[in-house]
Structure 1
Amino acid sequence: MFSYRSKILIYITVLLAVGVLASLKLHKSPFAIDTPTGTVDKNTVLLKVVMQGLNSAHFQPEKVDDNFSKKVFDLYMKRLDVNKKFLTEADVTALKKHQLAIDDQVKLGTHDFFEQASKLYTDRVKETEAYYKEILAKPFDFDKEETIETDPDKVTRPTDKAALKEAWRKYLKYQTLGQLSEMMDIQEKAKERGDAKEAGKTFAQLEEEARKKVTKTYDDFYRRQNQATKEDQFSLYMNAITNTYDPHTEYFAPEDKASFDIEMTGRLEGIGASLQEREGQIKVAEIVPGSASYRQGELKAGDVILKVAQANQEPVSVEGMRLDNAIKMIRGKKGTEVRLTVKKPDGTIKIVPIIREVVILEETYAQSALINEDAKVGYIRLPKFYADFKRSGGRNSGEDVRKEVEKLKREGAKGIILDLRTNGGGSLSDAVEMSGLFIPQGPIVQVETSGSQPQVLEDKDPAVQFDGPLVVMVNSFSASASEIVAAALQDYNRAVIVGSPTYGKGTVQQVFDLDQALQGGPYSALKPFGSLKLTTQKFYRINGGATQLRGVTPDITLPDFYSYLEQGEKDQDYPLPWDEIKPARFKPWTPNWNMQSLKAKSQQRLATNQSFKQVTQQAERMKKRIEASSQSLKLATFRADLKKNREETKRYESLEKSMPSLKTSALATDLATAKSDTIKVGRYNKFAKNIQKDIYVHEAVAIVKDQL
């Protein structure tokens, strides 16, 4: 419930304008509210300041009326109980008295609807906790012909508690069915290798073990639910309000803002360990190579953290603690010490002292490799448009890509592939800087603030860092800043855009610290309030068009697994509309290639490429599976469907394995710099190896070679 994010929006990073962390200590702050008297309720203050910001600084403010109220109600109810497993139709009907009153409540700073809905949901969670224990205590009949609807949008909300319990029975049976099928697969493999103990288990034993595994899953689920705070619940409500303005306007609770900063910078201060919560225990899932934990050497994956102490202070038990609270205790300023009491897999208890350091998430940053297929082609992968706005001298993606281009030029690359697939965006200034590496000076993007004339953001450097063949790879998860770069280079005729249509996000956000907006008086004791990410601008192509809703259409389209999924901006709740403005003045590049010729050659290759044919077939099958969302709960039918799907997947994997590998290598410059650092050397070589069988990179290389 409380960590709800759209599956698609997970991939879409905010497009940050220059100077986004602007102070709100302005005399005419858009967040100014009247100072309250008497007892101050934190949620009331938070609601008022967010509404004030939304209505005074959003690009297209909503009219706070009954229509607004209905949208908030519908969105909150959808997110509160996504799978319709807690609230009945009778519950929703009882809450509908607020459906047209939310607008009046937010104007007054009250939250009656939230209070009632939250209490009702909490009560129903406690009631359903008894359901799973009772249902999973008895064997299921897997020979019975019955089905379950797995698409939440198609699920009918239970009419009453009896119908709700029956829905839980089917849901738990479906979960157990998946576990049982997996255990039967394991047993079949055990028989093949002669493992008598595993192979000798009866069906009844396997079924019981499957139910026990599902029981543990729901033990953990309800433990987390019962640890949820009122702040968690109110954050969900706040985002039902903010997301009626657009999908990217969002309230960040303090811990969510910290995670957002890590995403944007690729840096954090801590010990360099990935943690997970299992059965009430905090376990080490992975150690980040080269981190403080890695160098200290005593903390290992599989260790259970029992207690956390700050240097020589008394240790605090983290058993049964929420994962996010445990992480807060373990992270800390560079140079400070944290002492972890851990339980090793063999049962021994050990205190592990670690000096915190800056943890660099290398997978965030630009990286390149050299492909040598009759001609040297450079490949640059950019996962996101990162930038460190807080730290002077921090890394930014525009400068890093410039460095990668220089290294590739020194190693003799005649063409370059810039891979922006699944890059959800990031820093606006870096998108402008990066586009400018490949063109003479000129406009890159037009940005409009509500009520103002569009501003043209330009590359003012007349130098062209690389003037050879350029291919930009995109897909349906390429968004925002990725779309700015792809659109600009397409409008200039500077690059060939290859892949599938992009996401369609054409808006710019700013992040405001609400603690800065609420200075002094009665607010100090209530902090922290968190932050508000607010859509303040729209951006447009230099040809006057917009990527909003429509995205960027590639020059050369390649088959895509996800082409049938509803995953773009147009498929989200309440996106801003598409429009267009006057084009900017710019001089297109004169390419030495003919686009129609490039398209024809690519189509000829695709026509005989069995892997791409299989991608198209897989995409069509995926669409059918999504549409046929009703699943059988009969074991034999379930296993037969699963076998069919696996055979289809194996066919594609076998085709991929039979493909010739691209001749790739890590850059000599990188390997020389790394020298004896085996971690870096291994990472560089692994990166180069990972693209050898990528059919999309294969085709991108061929398109570059067609231009030489």
Structure 2
Amino acid sequence: MKKNLKVLFLAVFVSVASCSFTTKEFDDPDKDKVLIDLITYVLQKGHYNPADMNDEFSAEVYKDFINGLDPLKRYFLASDIEEFSKYKTQIDDQIKSKDLTFFNLVYDRFMKRMEEVKKIYPEVLNTPFDYTKDESINVDYDNIDYATTKTEIKERWRKQLKFSTISSYYDNVEENKTKLEEDKEYTSKTEEELEIEARETSKKSLDEYFDFTNDLERKDYFAIYLTTIVEEFDPHTNYFAPPDKDRFDLRMSGRLEGIGARLQKKNDYIKVIEIISGGPVWRGDYLEVGDLITKVKQEDEDKAVSVVGMRVDDAVKLIKGPKGTKVTLTVKRVDGTIEDVTITRDVVELEETYAKSSIIENDENTYGLINLPQFYFNMEDYKERNAASDVKKEIERLKEEGMEGLVLDLRGNGGGSLRTAVDIAGLFIKEGPVVQVASNGKKEVLEDEDESITWDGPLVILVNELSASASEILAAAMQDYERAIILGSKQTYGKGTVQNVLDLNQWIRKSDLGDMGALKITTQKFYRVNGGSTQLEGVKSDVVMPDQYSYFNVGERDYENPLPYDKIDAASYKTWDGYLGYEETINKSKARMEKSKQLQLIDENAKWIKERRDEVEVPLNFEKYVADIDRRKEETKKFDSIDTYDNKLSYRSLPYEVELMKQDTTLREKRKRWHINLAKDIYVEEAVNVLRDLKINNIKAGKMADIKN
């Protein structure tokens, strides 16, 4: 596959280079025009199934860009939309001719409307809301018309602000009641005081929102426009502006080089909102949550740079840096004192990204559970750390504790590295194909070529509607081989495409344009070893267990323009013969699930949540608002037992983690919460039941032992 990709991208590179993407050959050297020309050219040459850039394409870009800027229809007027509409079928032509007229018009008008709104919301929130008035708000924004006048816009904002404020007012009233009941010396606040506080909360929230938007520049909105264009090719093709590319790399690797603190802009200051466990700040106790960073000085510079008023992305660029380098921060502490702290940057690993495991004990049996949040890898050095090597380590550790069966939890895992999925599959089978990949009319079979098997015992994989991409590759392969039993949602997400991230700077001959960002582009489609695609169809669980997402539109099939489902010839593979009574085990699990009162309740709750989310009229009269909440509280009482369920299983961390917890109280608290949640999890309970029922073919197991030895 790598060879095919290199040939493809080399061809694209040669083609683009022959078109001479230099500033000299453009009448207008504007970076935006270079970007839009480069991106669309690469898409047409490199995308798996490039879209026709015609009037229909143009109409979709038109709709999605306007909706993306103003989804609640609180800025643009109907007259604006009428003016924009003359370009509805011209955007494709403008893209081809590097004409930015449509973007410039919409952007300039949006900036104007935002400035008008900045004057509206303080005025509205300066006046008390009348909660005795019998009125409501329609939150079905897709099906409401644009306002025709500025007076109508103001009224729309009044209702929207009342909608957000009534929630705070309700919370204030309830908190006031609770304090009166719990503290006899508490002085009750008046309704007027509680109402004022609620409006102040809404105003503060909007002040912070517009403070954030004030930091956005034209290039940020142009990045939104580019993303709108490329997503018309398929939902997973995206444009990454430079900061977004950094964030994507971070998600894929689960690590960064810096100080180990999460930052947020608060008014004009850069505020510390979280200390990352194990990072330099955590180890040295340099900062606390709530500290404000005012200046940043590099070790090779004499003067500090003020970050007051700076965009948070720009401030982060100054603060983070390579391992071993030092940065001095001027910090305003929570108590008001000001101090300089010098921190040596280091690799910061985001623990929540990585595989984690737990020992499960039930009567006299011991099982293992590995939770894999994503298929991560180091983009610079695959061997340094990746999901496959970590899962293998956890399996070996669990085996040392006497594990008799393994649960691999892929619920909520949106995917990641294709290679790690293949490598993890190889931990459970001797050898053979894992996934088929198609590109440019060619097919390649990715195989596990390592005959060793890390785990030859019972295996269950948990999935849900959010298990996507690489999760589906692994689950599908294990299902086709009959190596694992898949438990979970009716089907997984349904993302059967492969993306590669291309650095757009490699195609620019001159560097004075600045960083051009990157393009995540769909280049391939993958297929199960049985020939079926997971695109749209996903992986259908062997045993279906309803969950909270059962009635929500969360899968690939719910996008506007997904690539279609299809099939190819099956690869040559043999099903695993290490189990006895494989089908019998599945049928026994299905029978248990049909009788489960807990699952029936979960299914009923999922339907109830869907019904509530479909409601579009919300009362803005306080009595009716309270009555609506009270009704919902009463209705949800019958679902309380979902959160108090006890699966009667015991959970404990592996010995190596227990040692780490002696020093890392944050890790200890995270694992404690995880185990509490696992104890309420009926899906884990049923996975353990299936592991118990799965009988290993001892003759086959003996052969495997010979292979490994």
Whether TM-score is above 0.5 comes out as: yes
State the match for 2:705 in structure 1: none
Matched, 1:356 2:345: yes
CA distance in 1, matches of 2:106, 2:408: 48
Structure 1 counterpart of 2:484: 495
Query: Is 1:303 matched with 2:291?
Result: yes
Distance 1:614 1:633, change over 3 A: same
Instruction: Find 1:626's aligned residue among 613, 637, 652.
Output: 613
| Corresponding residue SS for 1:376 | strand
2:177 paired residue number? 188
Q: 2:624 aligns with which of 623, 637, 645?
A: 637
2:536 equivalent to 1:549: yes
Please say if residues 365 and 397 of structure 1, whose CA atoms lie closer than 8 Å, have aligned partners that are also in contact: yes
Amino acid at match of 2:553: E
Residue in 1 that maps onto 2:14: 29
Tell me if 1:707 matches 2:707.
no
Q: Is the 8 A contact 2:463 2:486 kept in 1?
A: yes
Alignment of 1:316-327 (within 5 A): 316-327=305-316
Check conservation: 1:446, 1:540, Cα contact below 8 A. yes
Tell me the equivalent position of 1:88.
Answer: 77
- Which residue pairs with 1:9 in the alignment? none
> Residue 211 of structure 1 is aligned with which of 199, 203, 206?
199
Q: State the match for 1:220 in structure 2.
A: 208
Q: Given the alignment, which residue of 584, 589, 610 partners 2:576? A: 589
Post-superposition Cα deviations, 1:159-192, rounded to whole Å, max 9, x if no partner, equal 3322221111110000101111111221122112
For 2:282, the aligned partner's letter is Y
Shift of 1:39: 4.8
Q: Show CA shifts across 1:84-133 (max 9, x none).
A: 11112211110011111111111111211101110011110001111101
Shift in Å, 1:225: 1.7
- Mapping of residues 282-297 of structure 1, within 5 Å: 282-297=270-285
More displaced stretch, 626-635 vs 554-563: 626-635
Kindly provide the amino acid, as one letter, of the partner of residue 241 in structure 1: I
| Structure 2 counterpart of 1:447, one-letter code | V
Would the alpha carbon gap of residues 70 and 680 (structure 1) be closer, same or farther in structure 2, given more than 3 Å must change? Answer: closer
Deviation at 1:298, TM superposition (A): 2.9
Structure 2 residue corresponding to 1:259, chosen from 228, 247, 252: 247
Matching of residue 102 in structure 1 with residue 91 in structure 2: yes
Deviations 1:407-444 (A, max 9, x none): 22222111100000000000111111111111121111
The structure-2 alpha-carbon separation of the partners of 1:662 and 1:313, relative to structure 1 and needing over 3 Å to count, comes to: farther
CA 1:672–1:187 in structure 2 vs 1: closer, same or farther (change >3 Å)?
Answer: closer
> In the alignment, is the contact (CA less than 8 A) between 1:17 and 1:510 conserved in 2?
no
Contact kept, 8 Å, 2:48 with 2:523, in 1: the verdict is yes
Query: d(CA) in 2 for partners of 1:585 and 1:159?
Result: 63
Aligned counterpart, 1:507: 497
Write out aligned runs for 1:357-396 (5 A). 357-374=346-363, 375-391=365-381, 393-396=383-386
Greater shift in the superposed pair: 111-120 or 648-657: 648-657
Identify unmatched segments of 5+ residues in structure 1: 1-15
- Give, in angstroms, the shift of residue 503 of structure 1: 0.4
Question: CA deviation digits over 1:596-615, x for unaligned, max 9?
Answer: 53344334433554432321
Sort the Cα spacing of 1:693 and 1:264 in 2 relative to 1 into closer, same or farther, 3 A: same
Measured in 2, the distance between the counterparts of 1:642 and 1:545 equals 47
Q: How far did residue 151 of structure 1 move?
A: 3.3
- Secondary structure at 1:454's aligned position in 2? strand
Matched, 1:428 2:418: yes
CA distance in 2, matches of 1:294, 1:21: 42
User: Hey, what's the Cα distance between the residues in 2 that align with 1:363 and 1:82?
Assistant: 32
Are 1:332 and 2:321 matched, yes or no? yes
**Aligned partners of 1:478 and 1:503 also within 8 Å:** yes
Do the aligned residues in 1 keep the contact of 2:291 with 2:331 (CA within 8 Å)? yes
Q: Which residue of 1 aligns with 2:261?
A: 273
Amino acid of the structure 2 residue aligned with 1:60: N
Following superposition, the deviation at residue 688 of structure 1 comes to 4.2
What CA distance in whole angstroms lies between the structure 2 residues aligned with 1:30 and 1:442? Answer: 37
Cα distance, 1:687 vs structure 2? 4.4
1:476 has 2:465 as partner: yes
- Whole-Å Cα distance in 2 between the matches of residues 322 and 23 of structure 1? 38
Where do 1:450-465 residues align within 5 Å? 450=440, 452-465=441-454
Q: 2:232 aligns with which of 244, 249, 252?
A: 244
Cα 1:323/1:683, change in 2 over 3 Å: same
Deviation at 1:243, TM superposition (A): 0.4
Cα gap change, 1:684 to 1:617, in 2 (>3 Å): closer
SS at match of 2:533: coil
Match of 2:390?
400
The equivalent of 2:702 in structure 1 is none
1:171 is matched with which residue?
160
Shift of 1:682: 5.8
* 1:52 equivalenced with 2:41 (yes/no): yes
**Structure 1 668/21 Cα, relative in aligned 2: closer, same or farther at 3 Å?**
farther
Q: CA deviation at 1:630?
A: 1.7
- Deviations 1:224-275, CA, capped at 9 Å, x for gaps: 2222111101000001110000001111001100000000001101111112
C-alpha deviation, 1:30, in angstroms? 4.9
For 1:381 and 1:26, how far apart are their aligned partners in 2? 40
Match of 1:438, SS? coil
Percent identical pairs in the alignment equals 41
**Range that drifts further, 495-504 or 158-167:** 158-167
Bigger mean CA offset, 652-661 vs 408-417 = 652-661
What is the total number of aligned residue pairs between the two structures?
688
1:43 is matched with 32
1:285 Cα deviation after fit: 1.2
Which structure carries more relative contact order (alpha carbon 8 Å, separation 6+)?
Answer: 1
* 8 Å contact from structure 2 (residues 548, 606) kept in 1: yes
Moved more, 335-344 or 574-583: 335-344
Find the residue that maps to 1:525 and give its secondary structure. coil
Change (3 A) 1:324 1:20: farther
Task: Normalising by structure 2, report the TM-score.
Answer: 0.92
Matched, 1:346 2:335: yes
What is the CA distance between 1:674 and its match in structure 2? 7.2
- Give, in angstroms, the shift of residue 83 of structure 1: 1.4
1:135 corresponds to which of 87, 108, 124: 124
Q: How does 1:534-573 map to 2 (within 5 A)?
A: 534-573=521-560
Alpha-carbon RMSD: 2.3
Structure 1 residues 160, 579: closer, same or farther in 2, change over 3 A? farther
Which of 439, 442, 449 pairs up with 2:429? 439
Distance 1:651 1:313 in 2: 65
Q: For residues 22 and 209 of structure 1, what CA distance do their matches in structure 2 show?
A: 63
Tell me the secondary structure at the aligned position of residue 406 of structure 2.
strand
| Correspondence 1:517 to 2:507 | yes
**Relative to structure 2, which stretch is displaced further, 653-662 or 549-558?**
653-662
Query: Hey, what's the Cα distance between the residues in 1 that align with 2:160 and 2:661?
Result: 52
Of stretches 324-333 and 669-678 in structure 1, the one that deviates more from structure 2 is 669-678
Contact 1:44 / 1:110 at 8 angstroms: preserved in 2? yes
Structure 1 residues 418 and 658, CA gap change in structure 2 (3 angstroms) = closer
Structure 2 residue runs of 5 or longer lacking an equivalent are 696-709
Answer with 313-322 or 622-631: which moved more.
313-322
- Which range is displaced more, 213-222 or 611-620? 611-620
Aligned to 1:232: 220
Equivalent residue of 2:433, what SS? strand
Change (3 A) 1:145 1:390: same
Equivalent pair of 1:492/1:588 in contact (CA under 8 Å): yes
- Measured against aligned partners, the alpha-carbon deviations of 1:51-90 in whole angstroms (never above 9, x if no partner) come to 1100011001111221221121111112121111111221
User: Shift in Å at residue 502 of structure 1?
Assistant: 0.5
SS in 2 for 1:657: coil
- Separation in 1 of the partners of 2:192 and 2:12? 72
The residue type equivalent to 1:364 in the other structure is T
Distance 1:250 1:676 in 2: 41
After the TM superposition, which of the residue ranges 269-278 and 476-485 deviates more from structure 2?
Answer: 269-278
SS at match of 2:348: strand
- Does the CA-based 8 Å contact 2:12-2:45 persist in structure 1? no
Q: 1:76 to 1:22 in 2, by over 3 A?
A: farther
Q: 1:644 to 1:284 in 2, by over 3 A?
A: farther
